């Protein structure tokens, strides 16, 4: 059997190595026929710049409506206030007009108990997204971090019934 050369690329490091150990290397034998006699050319990867042209009209950016923009700004402001109360940097009474009584009770309870990850640092909001749910309601979802850990947050905003009223957090989920 003729000798064929097989070349393998290094695997990307997906986990940091343990301290004091060398990175793991594979010593498993490779079958000599693994790359010989390929029936078709290698498919280009999605990021090689050689992908085929997409069919159809070009995509255009969708601009959100002003209500969605205002809801996102309100969600960001309200979530920051909630996390300030949970981190004991603000009094729960400061949220009285911005959240429902049930959410206010939950946030006040979280401020007096141990929250997972609180020792890692204060909560920092990373992303906030909003989607229309029903008339006068928006679903909010995003992420926040404490130290090196990332967590998820979800909420529901309800628009007040009187003219000129603002958004109110009526449901909140932290994980």
Per-residue pLDDT of the chain (175 residues; tens, 9 = 90+): 566 777 766 666 655 665 655 555 555 555 555 555 555 566 556 665 555 556 666 677 778 788 889 899 999 999 999 999 999 999 999 999 889 999 999 999 999 988 777 888 899 999 999 999 988 899 999 999 998 899 999 999 998 866 556 899 999 999 8
Thinking of the domain 66-174, which architecture would CATH place it in? Roll (3.10)
Q: The dihedral of CA 66, 67, 68, 69: what is its sign?
A: positive
A 10 A CB-CB count for 106 gives: 18
Token reading at 71: 């809801």
Token reading at 84: 């300030």
Instruction: Give the C-alpha separation, 174 to 38, whole Å.
Output: 51
- Residue 58 C-beta-side C-alpha neighbours within 13 Å: 2
List, in sequence order, every residue forming a beta bridge with 164; answer none if it has no partner: none
Instruction: Give the C-alpha separation, 53 to 59, whole Å.
Output: 13
């Amino acid at each position: 059997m003729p000798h064929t050369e097989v070349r393998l690329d290094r695997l990307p490091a997906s986990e940091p190595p343990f301290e004091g150990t060398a990175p793991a290397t594979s010593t498993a034998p490779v079958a000599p026929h693994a790359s010989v006699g390929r029936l078709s050319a290698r498919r280009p990867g999605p990021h090689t710049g050689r992908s085929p042209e997409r069919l159809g009209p070009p995509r255009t950016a969708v601009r959100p409506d002003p209500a969605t923009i205002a809801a996102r700004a309100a969600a960001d402001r309200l979530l920051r206030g909630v996390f300030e109360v949970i981190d004991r940097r603000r009094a729960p009474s400061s949220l009285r007009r911005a959240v429902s009584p049930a959410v206010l009770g939950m946030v006040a309870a979280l401020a007096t108990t141990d929250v997972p990850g609180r020792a890692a640092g204060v909560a920092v909001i990373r992303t906030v997204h909003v989607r229309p749910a029903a008339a006068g309601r928006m679903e909010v979802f995003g992420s926040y971090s404490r130290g090196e850990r990332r967590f998820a947050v979800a909420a529901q905003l309800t628009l007040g019934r009187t003219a000129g009223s603002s958004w109110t957090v009526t449901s909140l989920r932290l994980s």
